[in-house]
Amino acid sequence: MKKSFLKILFLSLSILVLAGCSSDNDSTDEVIVDPPTQDDPLTTSNVTNYMVDPNATKETQALFYNLKKLAKTKTAIGQQDAFNSFYQDAGGDSDIKKNTGFDPAVLGSDFMFITDKTNNEQSNNWFYQQEQKIIADTKAAYAKGIINTFSWHLREPNKEESFYATDITAEQKSTAFRSILPGGANNEWYKKKLDKVAKVISNLKGSNGELIPVIFRPFHEFDGSWFWWGADFCTPDEYKKAYQFTVDYLKNTKGVHNILYAFSPDNSYTTEVNYLSRYPGDKYVDIIGMDNYGDFNNQGQTGSDKANSKLKILSDYAKSKVKIAALTETGYRVTNTTPAITDWFSTLLYSALTKNDIQISYVMFWNNTVDGYYVPNGTVSNTSDFKTFSLKTKSALVNSLPKMYEMPK
């Protein structure tokens, strides 16, 4: 469902525009921690022992700590592009705020337009204007205490026109991902894209000049093959190397220290072994994630229970390795021809997030559009269902968050 929706979004935005892998040379001071023997050994003083970046800024350390602790009692609720994508183009407050009176606890953004080949960083360039809007939204979210997370629908390296595998040739599918690895024909191209990502993240600053922490989720949904980095187009080792190179380059080469790194396949796995088949390693991942639309697509409680069992795999691993578990994308898109599912939020999703003593730090819905929505805005049939969900004991909008960027005293 998300695949076709994203393609529609990409094509419509294109029309709008026309109209208007691995380095192992980690820093020597990194601490690789043995699996803890107690439930949660994390403290405010040892937090960097469990993070990808031992040199992370104090606000980034606090975000890691607070996300980990939050999951014991709450799951933060978020939405992609919440400040700019509204059902029926309603504008104004986020649709979540229109419904509940409060903004989301998590804001999702994307580096897609920021790294687009036609972004020339000139004020009259549409892609640069989107970049500036995303930066402004990220800063506004941080000022409100909201958590920022970025995905990256990176265009393939040949013509840079699409991130979908169906839009490139068979030969390109077989070579595109491998070409961005060290020594590959497009490694320098990829490094330039990462340079842009690093430039943007390194210039995200709060009102006191402090760097704003972000969660970065590269090469997501890799177990499917709708994206050019999907499982059909690279080996597990090649995927790991690309992910490791990405982290090493941003952290060590570019010196970016305000990132938490998220790993998020789609929902194809049913065992921990399967989930970890392309896992780049604990020293490269802060957040153990999953995108899951399929289990919630009209499968009722059976689908909810399937999703819960997969989230339990994440939660158990995150507990054992002192990582953060998250449902990094989900949703059920309602349109004029696809009606809402009764109690989808308050019963089906909530039970998936809370049953079996799991600890999930946040859940993020995909963005609303003119003709469809993942989160009801207060004027539609399932408005009360979402509001009920948001008020449940383990749900958190921004008003229920602790100070995520400060260590507790």
Give catalytic residue positions.
221, 329
- Owner of token pair 């600053």: 205
C-alpha 142/C-alpha 207 separation (Å) is 10
One-letter identity of residue 99: N
Helices (H), 126-282: 126-143, 170-179, 187-202, 236-248, 272-275
Long-range contacts formed by 400-404: CB under 8 A, 24+ apart = 400/74, 400/105, 401/70, 401/74, 401/76, 401/105, 401/145, 401/146, 401/147, 402/66, 402/70, 403/66, 403/145, 404/62, 404/63, 404/66, 404/67, 404/70, 404/145, 404/147
Q: HSE of 381 in the Cβ direction (CA atoms, 13 Å)?
A: 11
CA torsion 169-175-180-181 (nearest 10°) is 160
What distance in Å separates the CA atoms of residue 16 and residue 234, rounded to the nearest whole number?
33
- Nearby residues of 58 by Cβ (< 8 Å), 6 or more positions away: 407
Nearest CA to 213 out of 93, 47, 95 is that of 47
